[in-house]
Structure 1
Amino acid sequence: MRFVRESARFACLFAVTGLLVFAGCTKVAPSDQPGAAADSTLKQVLQRGTLRVGDCLTFAPFGFYDKGGQPDGYDVDLAKELAKQMGVKLEVVNTTSANRIPNLQTSKVDVVFCNFTRNLERAKEIAFTNPYVVASEALLVKKSSGIKSVNDMADRTIATVKGSTNGDEVRSLNMKVKIQEFDSSQAAILAVKQGQADAMIEDNNFLAYQASLDPNLTVTDEALVPLEYNAFGVKAGDQIWLNYLNLFLFQINASKMNAQLYKKWFGAEPRFPLNPQY
């Protein structure tokens, strides 16, 4: 009987041990699984020692080159703070609206700061953090144009930037207007100044800054679309990196650093809250 009891106990221990081994194996994420710690952009950046941020450097004051040829602006300041907190060097990669998503998908950059509006269509290809700045849309026009609102744009030309959502927004107005696309925001602004376009539609934060630089320009006092919540863009499937960036945004918002940087570059307090009430 003792032998039978000992044999049964041994068999039980063997079975339990086997279950523990099996359970332990099933909890370990394989290294090739998307978002696994070994493949996370966060780990890659820390190992590389350099953070590569895609930023639109033709979109002052969000991003531009200063007189010394160095990247500067609101988004650049945020990128500098992120690199500082990570303890790595910063490399700013000049990016256009059209190549924001391709640059993420091909790992040319680790994250994109470029007035990136979150929407469901883009979310099919990349992931977005929580918002860090909010805006609506308005028109940049010459003061001499007589244009007071989008209702004055019938049979006129609106300049937009390739790869932005602005062209779709104009089309949704169902107005008889001509849409002319440009490679950069600066090219679109120049088109308005030179009379190639009657107006430019863009983020009201950006346009207010541009009008402050040229006494011949003004911004229409309207909100053409619902509020746009702009965020950082990252490659899809990397939850570890996304979590890290969201925590970074939480900290700079809770400390008021983000609001201070906004006031530094736009000359006013943020107009819209980051967390809307529904």
Structure 2
Amino acid sequence: MRKILGALLGLWVALPAWSADQALWEKSTLNRILARGELRVGLEAGYMPFEMRDKKGNIIGFDVDIARLMAKAMGVKLTLVNTQWDGIIPALLTDKFDVLMGGMTITPERNLQVNFTDPYIYIGQTVLLARKHEHTITVYSQLDDPRYTIATKLGTTGEIAARRYMPKARIKSFESEADAAMEVRNGRADAFVYDMPYNVVYAAQFPDALVHLKEPFTREALGWAVRKGDPDFLNWLNHFLRQIKDDGVYDALYKKWFENTAWLQHVAN
């Protein structure tokens, strides 16, 4: 009888915890994705080689290929939600999409609003320099001078780095990385501060106009962002990331987008 009473008491104690876990799962983004049959991924097309448009208007890139694998693993269709960068976290928080995969740097300030997965790639800030400065400027610190104008993208870690490491220079912030880089090509700015992967690709496109100072002067971890209070979805994403890194799929995609520039011929100008 004591054993029976003990077992019943244990079950009675466990039931509330099980009910709470079940309620959490039912509210989970992952559960709703499976029920909906659709994974909605938020990003901003224009961040080479993570996400950009091809000549047919389709969004392609490193993040997009990973998102397709993610949707396939879930057995659902993929929908890409192109979103302006300055509103991308609010869009996630208001359920415009399920996960933010737009190459976002993990920062304490952003982490107050969203939860991040484990880092899926590490990058750093570098400088695209107007070719006229090729023989006079060789390191980023030389740009910390009121004679120089630095272009960067509004609301990014590139803008933060430019203001932190080059406070004496004139900083011009733009809505898109393409507009900011164009400012240097057109001679209206001396340098462009932005993420190394983008700068590598952009410099390869315009070697006559730009010089890439390839040594990063920051180190940043990029992660996928999800809404807070969703441990099941965060757990699944971290395991998915670990799996594609372990089985070689991640490395193959990295080589495709970061070590090979054949895809550039398909990108819209």
TM-score (norm 1): 0.84
Segment drifting more, 24-33 vs 186-195: 24-33
Once the two structures are TM-superposed, the CA of residue 171 in structure 1 deviates from its matched residue by 2.6
Once the two structures are TM-superposed, the CA of residue 29 in structure 1 deviates from its matched residue by 3.8
Whether 1:161 and 2:149 are equivalent positions in the alignment is no
Q: Which has the higher helix share?
A: 2
| Equivalent residues of 1:97, 1:161 under 8 A apart | no
Once the two structures are TM-superposed, the CA of residue 195 in structure 1 deviates from its matched residue by 2.3
Whether 1:134 and 2:122 are equivalent positions in the alignment is yes
User: What is the CA–CA distance in structure 2 between the aligned matches of 1:195 and 1:106, rounded to whole Å?
Assistant: 40
Residue in structure 2 matched with residue 206 of structure 1 by the alignment: 198
Residue in structure 2 matched with residue 120 of structure 1 by the alignment: 108
Residue in structure 2 matched with residue 179 of structure 1 by the alignment: 171
* Offset from partner CA, 1:211-263 (integer Å, 9 cap, x none): 111122221132212x2111111111111000100011001101121111111
Structure 2 residue aligned with 1:151, among 141, 151, 162? 141
Tell me which amino acid in the other structure corresponds to 2:13: A
* Offset from partner CA, 1:53-81 (integer Å, 9 cap, x none): 11221112111111111110111111111
Tell me which amino acid in the other structure corresponds to 2:244: I
Which stretches of structure 1, 4 residues or longer, exceed 6 Å deviation after superposition? 12-15
Q: How many residues align?
A: 255
Structure 2 residue aligned with 1:259, among 242, 247, 251? 251
| Equivalent residues of 2:42, 2:80 under 8 A apart | yes
* Offset from partner CA, 1:146-195 (integer Å, 9 cap, x none): 33222332121212212212222223225311221111111111122122
Whether 1:220 and 2:213 are equivalent positions in the alignment is yes
| Equivalent residues of 1:31, 1:39 under 8 A apart | no
Once the two structures are TM-superposed, the CA of residue 38 in structure 1 deviates from its matched residue by 0.3
Whether 1:234 and 2:258 are equivalent positions in the alignment is no
- What's the secondary structure of 1:99's corresponding residue? helix
Residues 59-78 of structure 1: pairs in structure 2 closer than 5 A: 59-78=47-66
Aligned-residue identity in percent: 34
Whether 1:52 and 2:43 are equivalent positions in the alignment is no
Once the two structures are TM-superposed, the CA of residue 21 in structure 1 deviates from its matched residue by 5.5
User: What is the CA–CA distance in structure 1 between the aligned matches of 2:104 and 2:164, rounded to whole Å?
Assistant: 20
TM-score (norm 2): 0.87
* Offset from partner CA, 1:3-37 (integer Å, 9 cap, x none): xxxxxx7xx7996577346313322344896xx10
Segment drifting more, 167-176 vs 124-133: 167-176
Unaligned ranges ≥5, structure 1:
1-8, 269-278
User: What is the CA–CA distance in structure 2 between the aligned matches of 1:15 and 1:221, rounded to whole Å?
Assistant: 70
What RMSD, in angstroms, separates the aligned Cα atoms of the two structures? 2.1
